[in-house]
Structure 1
């Protein structure tokens, strides 16, 4: 997609079939070959015809054609089965219609434009030289040594080095796959905007996106929006995935870091934990999630609720949780279904190999923990308050015992006195809000074909054959 799109060619074509009395002065066009030339009347128009093995040349280009017709009275040229060679591009087409007055060219049939960097395939290409504009009115394919772009139509603005492609747009190279209903791109600024039914797969970063709109630029910044904008990241060991859904997702990637910000109805899901919040920030280098705006984090049978939550990971496993002010942690006993609770001004949760190891609250701590007898049955509860810190310790993720340091006030409620539903003042338990595993999004469009969508024209096939023979001879000589 780095071709200059051959606009110089059309400036030269403007003078190609001028009056012979003036042709040398205007363009120095030489008719090197034509089996015959004749003047005829077609539908009442004066037409000059060059027929059979036509070769036309200027200082900048050479055109081969089976035939070429000049409609003298309306500044129009028709050429058939053409091959045009310039310093930068070679162009093939079944038909060329050219308006010499307004410098407007229409390539039709099997159109191929080849430059040093890429090749373009389409069946309808219009070029306006004064406007520096190329229009692809039928499906277009750009390809180079790394990948290909497909779309149902497109417009290229040379002066701005920008293009718009519409209809089932696909872009694939060695680093990424993108698809959308439309694509705006500025090559010189390395800027891309994809609109509607966006899907993107970043092979290097092992990240997959989907949404209604995707913006990406050369700084490593990406913006993804949609009713359920979706991001999936595979961890380094490729054994786990993290899903994120939100109305708006921003990514900023550099050589040393990757930052992610998500806003509005944010949901996070992984096999090890899940969360909801109004805002989520993630620092990949630190493996740190920061959740704000009514956040809730679930890890196995634990729910942590607080105004501000930090979750530190270790290759997708939660290693440490921190929350303040006045958060509450609730753990459901897997045997009895009772809810152990812990709150304080600040809470720290420590994990070992994915299991909760300890909960520590600092200042004004309150705890409710349910006891079990030797048979594992409910056996009352303890409610405790302390002015300082308190700690709940766990064994294999299940509550084991607690300890507190200063100003402790505790109450035991026997099982027969009905304390099963007792809760702390800021109690929250919302398993119905816990995100479920999202459906993995996949491309809706079929894989980009290896070959163009039409049979290659004979002149192009011969060109490829000769190039391969030349390349083979060069290898033999070396």
Structure 2
């Protein structure tokens, strides 16, 4: 089991969302009217309005504006421009309508708004720019595109001064390697910090990992935090024949150049095709292929249940290779023929596996064993109960209890087959097959796939711009 995490590149298109506040400044700047088919003054709603009509071209030091018409409402300090194209040093802007307040430096772009920079293109039907606050407001659905992927959201804010953005409503991000969705997203590109809130779904196509939760945090250190009532993570093996599921209330991931760790807390449940477990805390170290379960954990492997205060498991190719548990753990195995429960307890327990099949279990100090026997017809034939001050070893054949060996101060007895002896148990007996985690339901995205189509018919000026660039 690898530590699955969103890569630092996982930014998907996070790092590609680079857009600038449109520098639509007509006040405090020399305005040059380069051309118009007609110009006139008129009165609208009792206000004097200066109108430029037909093929309007206006320039300032920072931009060039092309429009079908421009109205200047002098008393309200307002400019209205229609079917516009704005070219600045860093971007191109198109919209059906521009409303600009020269007093407050506030711009409103409405209808088929497109902002194109060297790195990305933004589509929306409504965008406001509060230049004094270095703030952009998207009140309508937004679509960001860059060479790596696409972002969709129903609304958003961008703060240029601190290089931060917040998006709300069915946020989706996708590129060739990953897909993300949530109810909202906050990001700060300067700090390389990202937070997703509400109904988070994430899929990493390269590492074959899917996870869901209520909250996801990611930063530049490689740290990831996933929280939820049932935060869920699923990983497929490279062959896709093995699946591992992890559920908990909190999952922490950390990837550095040399190590990868994954820690889960509160109501932890693990299910895989090789084993399953539950605990309050699970700690996994990818570089060691080792995980540790704490706080009264239970682990099931085939027909064996191991219960103890601490369980450590070492893996190899996804199979358990070695288990240890302490203090005073107990291993119980259900006989596949008779259904009787073999038991083994001690101060410390070591279990050894080969290709996922148990070969022997060793308990150290004050070891205890209950071994149910079978006769030549595989019928129950009493049991052997043994106590030893030293270690005891149980040997298995094809995963089934075969024989045992004990050392030092051995005290044992054979109890014949009888109803009174069938359910004999050691003092710390624990057998809870009903608690064994079941395979979780596979989660899928709740939102439809990001469409290839843009959210509206592209305006003629934009289409001409694309055609000219191609030519």
2: CA distance between counterparts of 1:391 and 1:374?
Answer: 24
Say whether the 8 Å CA contact 2:225–2:253 is kept in structure 1: yes
Q: CA deviation at 1:254?
A: 2.1
Q: Of the candidates 157, 167, 170, which is equivalent to residue 168 of structure 1?
A: 170
Say whether the 8 Å CA contact 1:344–1:364 is kept in structure 2: yes
2: CA distance between counterparts of 1:275 and 1:5?
Answer: 47
* Worse-matched range after superposition: 345-354 or 1-10: 1-10
1:67-120 C-alpha deviation (Å, 9 max, x unpaired):
100001100000001010111000000000011100000000000000011110
Q: CA deviation at 1:435?
A: 0.4
Matched, 1:448 2:460: no
Q: CA deviation at 1:3?
A: 5.8
Where structure 2 has 5 or more consecutive residues not aligned to the other structure, the ranges are: 1-13
Q: Of the candidates 120, 123, 126, which is equivalent to residue 124 of structure 1?
A: 126
Query: How does the TM-score come out when normalised to structure 1?
Result: 0.94
- Aligned-partner SS, 1:326: coil
2: CA distance between counterparts of 1:467 and 1:375?
Answer: 86
2:352 maps to 350
Q: CA deviation at 1:38?
A: 0.9
Q: Of the candidates 234, 237, 254, which is equivalent to residue 235 of structure 1?
A: 237
1:388 maps to 390
2:157 maps to 155
Say whether the 8 Å CA contact 1:394–1:400 is kept in structure 2: yes
Q: Of the candidates 65, 68, 76, which is equivalent to residue 66 of structure 1?
A: 68
1:424 maps to 426
1:280 maps to 282
Matched, 1:223 2:225: yes
Q: CA deviation at 1:402?
A: 0.6
2: CA distance between counterparts of 1:317 and 1:151?
Answer: 42
Query: How does the TM-score come out when normalised to structure 2?
Result: 0.95
Say whether the 8 Å CA contact 1:96–1:107 is kept in structure 2: yes
Matched, 1:198 2:200: yes
- Aligned-partner SS, 1:239: coil
Matched, 1:414 2:416: yes
1: CA distance between counterparts of 2:322 and 2:182?
Answer: 39
Matched, 1:14 2:16: no
Give the structure, 1 or 2, with the largest relative contact order (CA under 8 Å, sep 6 or more). 2
Say whether the 8 Å CA contact 2:139–2:155 is kept in structure 1: yes
1: CA distance between counterparts of 2:418 and 2:33?
Answer: 110
Say whether the 8 Å CA contact 1:155–1:163 is kept in structure 2: yes
Q: Where does 1:24-43 land on structure 2 (aligned, <5 Å)?
A: 26-43=28-45
Say whether the 8 Å CA contact 1:4–1:158 is kept in structure 2: no
RMSD: 1.2
1:314-358 C-alpha deviation (Å, 9 max, x unpaired):
122111111000000000001000000000110011111111111
Runs of 4+ in 1 over 4 A off after TM superposition: 1-4
Q: Of the candidates 450, 457, 460, which is equivalent to residue 459 of structure 2?
A: 457
Q: CA deviation at 1:160?
A: 1.1
2: CA distance between counterparts of 1:417 and 1:443?
Answer: 54
2: CA distance between counterparts of 1:45 and 1:350?
Answer: 90
- Change beyond 3 A, Cα 1:8–1:197: closer
2: CA distance between counterparts of 1:86 and 1:213?
Answer: 39
2: CA distance between counterparts of 1:416 and 1:87?
Answer: 93
2: CA distance between counterparts of 1:3 and 1:343?
Answer: 59
2:56 maps to 54
Say whether the 8 Å CA contact 2:172–2:180 is kept in structure 1: yes
2:340 maps to 338
1:135-189 C-alpha deviation (Å, 9 max, x unpaired):
0000001110110110000011111111111110001123321111111111122
1:77 maps to 79
